[in-house]
């Protein structure tokens, strides 16, 4: 393979890897968006999932237990948010902001308490399970780019397809969407809009928890600020994808490509890395402006 | 519908303050070896001498100024989540200007220029989110956060690159000469005369809100956008202006830190201030005068956390947890009854 192909393979392969946390989180966030709640807490929920998931995986030396812990912790946080918003009638955005602050605080304090550091906590974990037989990775180009990924990465796509089915084809999905469109009508039909919203927040929690854990797993470590804006990028993907799961997936791929490109440029160019780090945010911002709808 | 107790503003503030203090004590009990001394470090040490007291008040100054800005944005129903970047970038702009101005300049002139440039930098960044909302329908929360993330990266690069002090081991700009720093009061603490400016600003904003057409129209825009439009109030202009004022006050807070307590721009020095200012605005419950006690309280949580970190090794990040809990209570509009009524 020529040099340029190798580079392209690297960038595209990492695009798929970088899209994993974004996909989990933005599809999770889609549920709460559809129920009428812009969930700005995705960032914090991802951080919680990353920390507790990695801590549990490290303790048990078992990735599956990590997955469960990531989901459980992020769902617990989103339930807390749900109770504060729905029962205590709190402002959605302030509650979301509080979750983000809480996540940053709790993960750093616990990291200091359990691991005596506020910096990188590295975990030695079993190698991630490959979703495809090793032979498939030998296929030129397509093999390394598409067919060499872990079970978790493939799960993100199954999660997306599953969410699309739930949203479009089940009563549960229809109730969540109806709540977002016309909560009074849902109430009049004898269903509880608050229950649909709570369920939607739980979906957000599951997705963000998995997304955060995928981030931690990809570097086998936890660092405070590991999420560094990806929760917000996932939120923008929901808008850019016009609230349609497959278009959201495409948006996540776009943002992941920007991240992959920025990683690559950092290693191989004279552009200062700190500037390059801003690239994913810039791409996200531009796409938000393009997707914006004039009232 | 089940019976619910409505929570009024003062009750929420008392709950938020009370619960966050109780939680602080709880966290200290959990993390510290010597609970008694940790408690004293958190609650008493900041007031124990002139030096600590001055430093504590100095920490409240940027919170008053930036919190006032967040409050103005809230009033027009705008959430500015880009304070971190607005403050940081403006501090850098002000710092670079202070270092570049000729050495013979009069200190007062330098202070005015740096404060102005800091304010304008923050205002421009804030206004951008306002413009995007007005013309592209983009959520100002998301855009202000993303713009902030971008300007933080660029500022980090500028501080560690072109403006790095070659003589320092820290990632920082050069030091501004002593004579160009704001005069200190309560020396040797870092409290300076900017506290007077902060209080004066709060007074000015109070008068504008209560006595002028601008203040009134801004309030109408926030309370009922449709009605405001119907009255012929230029709603979009007010929204953009509110975001600009909010960003501008973050910027001013940053500039004053650089020509005051900091004296230079250290990489990441302002981290957390942007979010704390939001807590301040929430605690102030829409009142300019409320910004003063709110800033004093949030600064107290921060100072207390710093004191126990140094004294007892409890991570100072507990401040985020305390603020989050205070936010939950301040925004709760009702308390569900604990016992349900029998049918």
Q: How far is B251 from chain A (nearest CA, A)?
A: 21
Cβ contact A108–B331 (<8 Å): no
- By Cβ distance, the residue of A229, A235, A274 closest to B149 is A229
B271 touches chain A (CB under 8 A): no
Half-sphere exposure (CA, 13 Å, Cβ side) for A259? 24
Q: In this structure, what is the dihedral angle of CA atoms A242, A243, A248, A254, given to the nearest 10 degrees?
A: 30
Is A190's pLDDT higher than 70? Answer: yes
**pLDDT digit string (tens) for B220-232?**
988 888 899 999 8
Q: Mean pLDDT of all residues in chain A? A: 92
Q: Which structure tokens are listed for A52? A: 């507790």
The verdict on residue B12 lying in a domain is no
Q: Please give the distance of CA A60 from its chain centroid, rounded to a whole number.
A: 24
- B331 CB neighbours in chain A (<8 A) are 84, 90-91, 94-95, 98
Domain around B315: 50-328
**pLDDT by residue (tens digit) across B66-92?**
999 999 999 999 999 999 999 999 999
* Token reading at B310: 């140094």
pLDDT of residue B56: 95
Give whole-number Cα distances, A28 to A24, A153, B190, B236, in Å: 6, 15, 47, 33
- Looking at residue B122, which CATH number applies to its domain? 1.10.3470
Calculate ∠ Cα A212-A215-A218, nearest 5°.
150
Q: Are A185 and A178 in contact (CB under 8 A)?
A: yes
Taken in order A112, A116, A117, A123, the sign of the CA dihedral is negative
Closest residue in chain A to residue B276, using alpha carbons only: A101
**pLDDT(B185) > 50:** yes
Question: In percent, how much of chain A has pLDDT > 90?
Answer: 72
CA distance A93 to chain B (A): 9
B window 24-83, beta carbon within 8 A of A: 27, 31, 79, 81
| Letter string b/e over residues B151-176, b meaning 16 or more CB atoms within 10 A of that residue's CB | bbbbbbbbbbeebbbeeeeeebbbeb
Average pLDDT over residues A4-20: 92
CB A222 within 8 A of CB A51: yes
User: B1: pLDDT confidence band, cut at 50, 70 and 90?
Assistant: very low
From the number of C-beta atoms within 10 Å of its C-beta (0-12, 13-18, 19+), residue A158 rates as exposed
Which is more confidently placed, B249 or A292?
Answer: B249
Tell me, yes or no, whether B58 lies in a domain.
yes
Answer yes or no: is B261 within a domain.
Answer: yes
Number of domains in chain B: 1
Mean pLDDT confidence for A9-34: 95
Q: Which two tokens stand for residue B208?
A: 């504008």
**Domain annotation covers residue B111:** yes
Cα A50 to Cα A53, A208, B269, distances in angstroms: 5, 9, 26
pLDDT at position B343: 43
ipTM: 0.91
State the pLDDT at residue B4.
59
Per-residue confidence at A22, pLDDT binned at 50, 70, 90?
Answer: very high
Is B322 domain-assigned? yes
- Please list, in sequence order, all residues whose beta carbon lies within 8 angstroms of the beta carbon of residue A121, skipping any fewer than 6 positions away: A54, A58, A111, A115, A221, A222, A223
Range from A63-67, A279-283, B67-71, B310-314 carrying the lowest mean pLDDT: B310-314
Q: Which residues in B lie closer than 8 A to residue A284 (C-beta atoms)?
A: 146
Name which residue leads in pLDDT, B203 or B318: B203
Task: Find chain B residues with C-beta within 8 A of A41's C-beta.
Answer: none
Q: With contacts defined as CB-CB under 8 Å, which chain A residues touch B71?
A: none
Quick check: B338 pLDDT over 60?
Answer: no
Lowest mean pLDDT among A271-285, B93-107, B198-212, B324-338: B324-338
Q: pLDDT per residue over B117-141, tens digit each?
A: 999 999 999 999 999 999 999 999 9
Tell me what the pLDDT averaged over chain B comes to: 91
A157 contacts A249 by C-beta, under 8 angstroms: yes
B328 touching A, CB under 8 A?
yes
CA-nearest residue to B139 within chain A is A292
What does the DSSP 8-state code read for residue B335? E
CB contact under 8 A, A109 and B317: yes
- Is residue B196 less than 8 Å (CB to CB) from chain A? no
**Closest CA relative to residue B331, chosen from A129, A96, A16, A60:** A96
The answer to whether residue B23 sits within a structural domain is no
B244/chain A closest Cα distance in angstroms: 19
Across the interface, of A89, A112, A288, the residue whose CB is closest to B146 is A288
Give the chain B residue nearest A92 (alpha carbons): B331
The answer to whether A248 and A42 have CB atoms below 8 angstroms apart is no
Q: Kindly indicate the confidence band of residue A6, based on its pLDDT and cuts at 50, 70 and 90.
A: confident
Q: What are the tokens at A100?
A: 């983000």
Over residues B316-326, the mean pLDDT reads 89
Chosen from B32, B332, B335 to mutate, greatest number of chain A CBs within 10 A: B332
Burial class from Cβ neighbours inside 10 Å (0-12, 13-18, 19+) for residue B238 reads buried
Q: Given A236, A274, A293, which is nearest B157 (Cβ)?
A: A274
- Among the partner residues A109, A277, A285, nearest to B153 by beta-carbon distance: A277
B270 vs B82: CA distance, rounded Å: 13
Q: Indicate the SS3 state at residue A221.
A: strand
Is pLDDT of B242 > 80?
yes
Are the beta carbons of A139 and A147 closer than 8 angstroms?
Answer: yes
Q: How far is Cα B153 from Cα B162, in angstroms, rounded to an integer?
A: 14
Interatomic CA distance for residues B343 and B330, integer angstroms:
32
- What's the pLDDT band for A295 if we cut at 50, 70, 90? very low
The verdict on residue B76 lying in a domain is: yes
CB–CB contact B320 A104 (8 Å): yes
Structure tokens at A101: 């602050």
Q: Cα separation of B223 and B75, whole Å?
A: 8
Residue A4 — pLDDT band, cuts 50, 70, 90? confident
Secondary structure (DSSP) of A243-275: T-HHHHHHHHHHHHHHHHHHHHHHHHSSS-HHH
Asked if pLDDT for residue A21 goes beyond 60, the answer is yes
CA–CA distance, B94 with B176 (Å, rounded to integer): 11
Tell me if A237 sits within 8 A of A24, measured CB to CB.
no
- Which residues on B lie below 8 Å from A97 (Cβ)? 81, 275, 278, 327
Asked whether residue B186 is assigned to any structural domain, the reply reads yes
**Cα–Cα distances in Å, from B216 out to A65, A141, B66, B73, B77?**
57, 64, 21, 14, 14
Q: Does B335 touch chain A (CB under 8 A)?
A: yes
Size of interface A-B (CB pairs under 8 A): 134
């Amino acid at each position: 393979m020529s040099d340029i192909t190798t580079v392209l393979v690297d960038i595209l392969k990492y695009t798929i890897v970088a899209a994993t946390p974004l996909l989990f989180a933005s599809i999770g966030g889609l549920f709460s968006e559809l129920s009428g709640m812009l969930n700005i807490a995705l960032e914090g929920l991802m951080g919680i999932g990353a920390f507790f998931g990695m801590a549990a995986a490290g303790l048990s030396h078992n990735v599956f237990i990590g997955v469960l812990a990531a989901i459980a912790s992020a769902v617990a946080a989103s339930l807390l948010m749900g109770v504060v918003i729905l029962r205590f009638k709190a402002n959605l955005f302030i509650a979301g902001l509080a979750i983000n602050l809480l996540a940053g605080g709790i993960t750093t304090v616990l990291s200091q308490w359990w691991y005596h550091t506020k910096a990188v906590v590295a975990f030695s974990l079993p190698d991630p399970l490959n979703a495809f037989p090793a032979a498939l990775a030998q296929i030129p180009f397509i093999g390394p780019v598409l067919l060499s990924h872990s079970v978790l990465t493939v799960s993100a796509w199954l999660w997306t397809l599953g969410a699309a089915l739930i949203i479009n084809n089940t009563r549960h999905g229809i109730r969540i969407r109806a709540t977002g469109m016309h909560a009074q009508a849902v109430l009049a039909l004898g269903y509880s809009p608050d229950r649909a919203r709570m369920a939607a927040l739980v979906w957000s929690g599951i997705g963000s928890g998995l997304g955060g854990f995928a981030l931690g797993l990809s570097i086998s470590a936890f660092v405070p600020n590991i999420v560094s804006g990806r929760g917000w990028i996932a939120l923008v993907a929901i808008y850019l994808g016009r609230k349609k799961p497959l278009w959201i997936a495409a948006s996540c791929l776009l943002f992941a490509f920007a991240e992959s490109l920025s990683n690559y440029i950092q290693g191989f160019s004279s552009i200062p890395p700190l500037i390059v780090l801003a690239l994913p945010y810039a791409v996200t911002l531009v796409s938000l402006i393009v997707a914006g709808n004039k009232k | 519908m089940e019976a619910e107790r409505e929570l009024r503003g003062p009750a929420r503030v008392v709950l938020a303050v009370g619960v966050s203090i109780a939680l602080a004590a709880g966290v200290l009990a959990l993390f510290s070896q010597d609970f008694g001394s940790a408690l004293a470090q958190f609650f008493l040490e900041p007031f124990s001498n002139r030096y600590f007291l001055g430093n504590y008040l100095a920490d409240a100054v940027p919170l008053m100024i930036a919190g006032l800005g967040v409050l103005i944005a809230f009033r027009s129903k705008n959430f500015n989540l880009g304070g971190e970047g607005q403050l940081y970038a403006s501090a850098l702009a002000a710092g670079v200007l202070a270092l570049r101005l000729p050495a013979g300049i009069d200190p007062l002139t330098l202070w005015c220029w740096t404060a102005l440039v800091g304010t304008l930098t923050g205002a421009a960044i804030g206004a951008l989110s306002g413009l995007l909302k007005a013309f592209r329908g983009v959520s100002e929360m998301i855009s202000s956060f993303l713009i902030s993330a971008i300007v933080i990266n660029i500022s980090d690069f500028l501080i560690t690159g072109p403006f790095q002090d070659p003589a320092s081991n820290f990632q920082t700009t050069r030091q501004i000469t002593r004579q160009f720093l704001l005069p200190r009061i309560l020396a040797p603490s870092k409290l300076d005369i900017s506290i007077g400016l902060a209080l004066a600003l709060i007074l000015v904003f109070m008068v504008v809100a209560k006595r002028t057409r601008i203040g009134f129209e801004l309030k109408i825009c926030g309370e009922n956008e449709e009605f405001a439009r119907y009255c012929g109030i230029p709603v979009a202009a007010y929204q953009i202006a509110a975001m600009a004022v909010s960003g501008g006050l973050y910027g001013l807070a940053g500039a004053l830190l650089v020509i005051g307590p900091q004296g230079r721009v250290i990489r990441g020095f302002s981290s957390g201030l942007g979010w704390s200012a939001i807590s301040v605005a929430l605690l102030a419950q829409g009142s300019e005068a409320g910004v003063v006690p709110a800033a004093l309280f949030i600064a107290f949580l921060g100072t207390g956390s710093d004191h126990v970190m140094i004294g007892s090794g409890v991570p100072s990040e507990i401040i985020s947890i305390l603020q989050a809990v205070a936010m939950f209570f301040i925004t709760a509009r009702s308390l569900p009854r604990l016992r349900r009524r029998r049918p």
